[in-house]
């Protein structure tokens, strides 16, 4: 039986610190909603805007798969594994925190803000050796089709993580429709609309709306306007 959870953009938590304006799809920091703890293995989906020259100081993580997708501007990353990198729109970064890692994230630009999604998934293996991966994606690959950006397999498209999850992004023209087959039995999909108006399994979504769908094996997706969206295919039990 299909189960649907609709999360409209305006129902998200919001924390505006001046240097950081963050919208939380799930309970995070001081925003707590007992109905919005997680969707399966998906624990955090933060939609962050970081002011010029500002950022997150060094802080620890453990036993979490942390995915960062820059949407605008640049992000300077530095971690205790020795990685010092810049990630920008078109890149995807993953950090498997495992036994423990510390990192900082800053907007290195003095004249523009940085916008990004940061996503946390519970891993299927605890206390792994921490690892870092960053790749540049070809945005043209997702024009009017879904393009895989993450999977559990190191030799598959995109980055890989310690979880049976698959992420796809699409940039669709108005009127384009597609079908998505869920990759693994027992998985659900959390779909997040970055911009535009999209209908997924009968649910109409606008910019920054999301829907979680489980108990089905197929999504029917139609872009009602030009639209960009992220599909996260994740275990409901992990």
What span, in angstroms and rounded, lies between the C-alpha atoms of 26 and 120? 10
Q: Which domains does the chain have, with CATH numbers?
A: 12-136 (2.60.120.10), 139-235 (2.60.120.10)
What span, in angstroms and rounded, lies between the C-alpha atoms of 216 and 183? 11
Cα distances from 207 to residues 2, 65, 67, 225, in angstroms, run 24, 26, 21, 11
Q: What percentage of the chain has pLDDT greater than the value 90? A: 99
Tell me what the pLDDT averaged over the chain comes to: 97
Band of pLDDT at residue 58, cut at 50, 70 and 90:
very high
What value does the mean pLDDT take over residues 201-212?
99
Band of pLDDT at residue 227, cut at 50, 70 and 90:
very high
Strand ranges across the sheet with 13-16? 13-16, 20-24, 42-50, 114-121, 65-72, 91-96, 131-136
Longest dimension (CA), the chain: 51
């Amino acid at each position: 039986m299909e189960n649907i959870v609709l999360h409209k953009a305006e129902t998200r938590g919001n924390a505006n610190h001046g240097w950081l304006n963050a919208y939380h799809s799930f309970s995070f920091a001081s925003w707590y909603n007992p109905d919005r703890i997680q969707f399966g293995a998906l624990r955090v989906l933060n939609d962050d805007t970081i002011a010029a020259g500002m950022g997150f100081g060094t802080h620890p993580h453990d036993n979490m798969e942390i995915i960062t997708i820059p949407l605008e501007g640049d992000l300077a990353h530095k971690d205790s594994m020795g990685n010092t990198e810049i990630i920008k729109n078109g890149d995807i970064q993953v950090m498997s925190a495992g036994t423990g890692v510390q990192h900082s994230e800053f907007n290195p630009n003095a004249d523009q803000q940085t916008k990004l999604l940061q996503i946390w998934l519970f891993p299927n293996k605890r206390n792994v050796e921490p690892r870092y991966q960053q790749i540049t994606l070809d945005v043209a690959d997702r024009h009017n089709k879904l393009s895989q950006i993450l999977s559990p397999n190191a030799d598959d498209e995109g980055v890989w993580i310690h979880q049976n999850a698959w992420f796809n992004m699409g940039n669709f023209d108005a009127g384009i429709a597609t079908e998505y087959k869920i990759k693994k039995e027992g998985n659900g999909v959390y779909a997040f609309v970055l911009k535009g108006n999209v209908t997924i399994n009968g649910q109409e979504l606008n910019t920054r709306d999301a829907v979680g769908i489980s108990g089905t094996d197929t999504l029917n997706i139609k872009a009602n306007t030009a639209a960009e969206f992220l599909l996260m295919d994740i275990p409901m039990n992990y």
